[in-house]
Amino acid sequence: MKILKTLLFLLIALSGFSQIYDTDMLSKDFHKGRREAIRKSLPENTCAAVFAGAERQRANDTKFIYHQDPNFYYLTGLNEPNALLLIFKEEQTFFDSIKTNELIFVQDRDAAKESWTGKIMGRTGVATKLGFSKVLINNEFADFKIDFDKFDKIFHLEFNDDVRDDKNDKGDLYSLIKHFRLKTASVSTKSDNQSLATWLATLREIKQPEELILMRKAIDMTCMAHAEVMKALEPEMKEYQAQAVVEYMFKNQGSEYVGYPSIVGGGENSCILHYETNRKKLVGLDLLVIDAGAEYHGYTADVTRTLPVDGKFSAQEKIIYNIVLDAQEAGIKACVPGAEFRAAHKAAIAFIQKGLMDNGIINNPNDFIEYFFHGTSHYLGLDVHDPGTYGKLAPGSIITVEPGIYIPSGSKCDPMWWNIGVRIEDDVLITAGEPEVLSGKLPKKVEEIEALMKEESQFNKIK
C-alpha cells in the first residue's frame, strides 16, 4: 500500500509539470553534452555562470512573449526566465551533503501564478525532464553559501544593463545577477567575461546532428511559405498582406515564432536593408523583397527572395536580379571547408562590381559599395546572427549567402535603375565536400519565379 501511495504521489507530481506537446525537442542528453563540452574547456579549479534571458516589458503590465537566452537554452533546455546555471570544473561539496559539478537555480512553482500564465517545471520538473542532479529554487541563491574565492577563475558572459527589478521577488534575474556580483566582488580580479563567450561561439558554430534536424525543419517551413507568397502576390496587395501569407504558413506548419521581424519591402522600400514597417500598397511596377524565416524549437531559418509584384521582371529588373544571382551562386561555390569566412563575400563582390560596371551604373569598381553595403554571410542557428569564430569554414557550420544590390531614388546613375532593390539569400551547410543549400528547393531563377507566380494560391480567394 505504501508503494502504491508513493507511485500515486509521483504520478500526481509529474502531471503538474509544464506541458511539452512536441515530441522532437532536443533531448536532455544533448544539453548535458553541451555542458560537458564547456566543462572540458574550463581550466582546473574554475567555474562558469550563465544566466537566463530577461523578460521584456511591452507596455504597462504586458510583456513580450518570453524568449530564452540562446546560450542558456543551449546548455540547459530550459525555456523559463529567472534562472542561473553554475558549471564547475571539478565536483564540489556544499553543506557536507550536496556533491555535484553543476547547480541550477530555477523558479518555484506557484499555483496562483500558474492559473494565469501556465504551468512551469519547478524543481522536480527540471530535475526529471532536463536531467539535472541538483536543482535549487532561485530565491535560495541570495543566501546560498558558495566560496568563489577558492576558484582561480570565474567565467561569465557580459551582463545586460536593462534587467528590471521585481522588488517582490528576490529570485528574479535582477536579484540573481546582483547577488552573483556581491558574492564575487571580493575576487573581481578573477572574473573573466570574454572566454566563456568564445567557447560557446566555438561550440555553437558547428551544429550537432540533432540541431541539423531542427534547422532543416525550420528552413523547409520557410521555403514553403516563400513559395506560397510567390503564388499569392498581386498588385494592390499591401506589404503586410504578403507578410501575413508568409507568417500564416510558418505558424500553420508548427513554427512557434518568426526568427526575426519579417522584412517585406516593395518599390522604394526594397532598397532599405532592414525595413520593417510593411504598410505600403504594392503596385505592378514594384519589386518586393521578402526576407523572412521561421523559428522552430529555437532554431531559425533566414531566407530572402525578390519578386516582381506583377509577376514579370522588367528588362532593368532582370539585369540587376541576374547580377545578384550570379554573385550569390559564386558565393555559394566558395563555401568549402578550409576557406576563410569572407570567401563568399569576396566572390560575390567580384560579380557585382563587374555587373554594375558593364551596365554603366558605376564607373569605378570600388564604387560598388554605394549599392552593396553589407556583408554576404553570417552564421545561423539559435540566433539569426549566430555566434561563431569567423575563421576557416568547417563542416557542420551553417551560414547565409545573401548578396544584394540596392539603387534608391536619387542615386548617381540613370534613373531607369532607381528603386530597384534585389537581395537573394539562402542557408548553406558546410560539408566535407560541396556545400549543401538547405533552402535550395525554393525557386530563385527568373523563369522559375515567374512560372510559380502564375499559379493560384489559396490566399487569392480571401478578400
Residue 113: CATH number of its domain: 3.40.350.10
**Is 253 in the same domain as 282?**
yes
Which residue is it, cell 527589478? 165
Q: How far apart are the C-alpha atoms of 376 and 341, rounded to whole Å?
A: 10
**Is 380 in the same domain as 416?**
yes
**Is 446 in the same domain as 354?**
yes
**Is 160 in the same domain as 288?**
no
Q: Which domain holds residue 74?
A: 15-202
Residue 1 belongs to some domain of the structure: no
Q: How far apart are the C-alpha atoms of 298 and 55, rounded to whole Å?
A: 16
Q: Are 303 and 442 in contact (CB under 8 A)?
A: yes
339, 345, 349, 350 alpha-carbon torsion, rounded to 10° = 10
* pLDDT at residue 179, rounded to an integer: 96
**Is 212 in the same domain as 148?**
no
**Is 136 in the same domain as 275?**
no
With b for 16 or more beta-carbon neighbours within 10 A and e for fewer, the 18-48 pattern comes to beeeeeebbebebbbebbeebbebbeeebbb
**Is 194 in the same domain as 230?**
no
Q: How far apart are the C-alpha atoms of 336 and 355, rounded to whole Å?
A: 25
- Half-sphere CA count of 236, side-chain side, radius 13 A: 2
Backbone torsion region of residue 55, taken as left when φ is above 0, otherwise alpha when ψ lies between -120 and 50, otherwise beta: beta
**Is 410 in the same domain as 266?**
yes
Question: pLDDT 10s digit of each residue in the chain, 463 long?
Answer: 444 444 333 333 434 445 679 999 999 999 999 999 999 999 999 999 999 999 999 999 899 999 999 999 999 999 999 999 999 999 999 988 889 999 999 999 999 999 999 999 999 999 999 999 999 999 999 999 999 999 999 999 999 878 988 888 888 999 999 999 999 999 999 999 999 999 999 999 999 999 999 999 999 999 999 999 999 999 999 999 999 999 999 999 999 999 999 999 999 999 999 999 999 999 999 999 999 999 999 999 999 999 999 999 999 999 999 999 999 999 999 999 999 999 999 999 999 999 999 999 999 999 999 999 999 999 999 999 999 999 999 999 999 999 999 999 999 999 999 999 999 999 999 999 999 999 999 999 999 999 999 999 999 888 6
Q: How far apart are the C-alpha atoms of 208 and 198, rounded to whole Å?
A: 18
Domain count within the chain:
2
**Is 49 in the same domain as 149?**
yes
**Is 188 in the same domain as 56?**
yes
**Is 362 in the same domain as 382?**
yes
Q: How far apart are the C-alpha atoms of 231 and 93, rounded to whole Å?
A: 63
CATH number at residue 292: 3.90.230.10
Closest CA to 231 of 300, 307, 317: 307
* pLDDT at residue 96, rounded to an integer: 81
Residue 8 belongs to some domain of the structure: no
Among the candidates 167, 202, 237, a domain finishes at: 202
Residue 351 belongs to some domain of the structure: yes
Residue 92 belongs to some domain of the structure: yes
Residue 2 belongs to some domain of the structure: no
* pLDDT at residue 463, rounded to an integer: 65
The answer to whether the predicted template modeling score (pTM) of the entire model surpasses 0.85 is yes
Closest CA to 340 of 395, 391, 398, 400: 391
**Is 149 in the same domain as 282?**
no
Q: How far apart are the C-alpha atoms of 298 and 126, rounded to whole Å?
A: 18
Which residue is it, cell 516589458? 57
Residue 5 belongs to some domain of the structure: no
Residue 7 belongs to some domain of the structure: no
* Grid coordinates belonging to 46: 574554475
Among the candidates 145, 173, 202, a domain finishes at: 202
Among the candidates 171, 202, 233, a domain finishes at: 202
* pLDDT at residue 161, rounded to an integer: 78
Q: What strand order describes the sheet that includes 294-296?
A: 257-258, 294-296, 299-300
Q: Are 80 and 107 in contact (CB under 8 A)?
A: yes
Closest CA to 227 of 453, 56, 40: 453
Helix axes 209-232 and 446-453, enclosed angle (nearest 10)? 60
Residue 398 belongs to some domain of the structure: yes
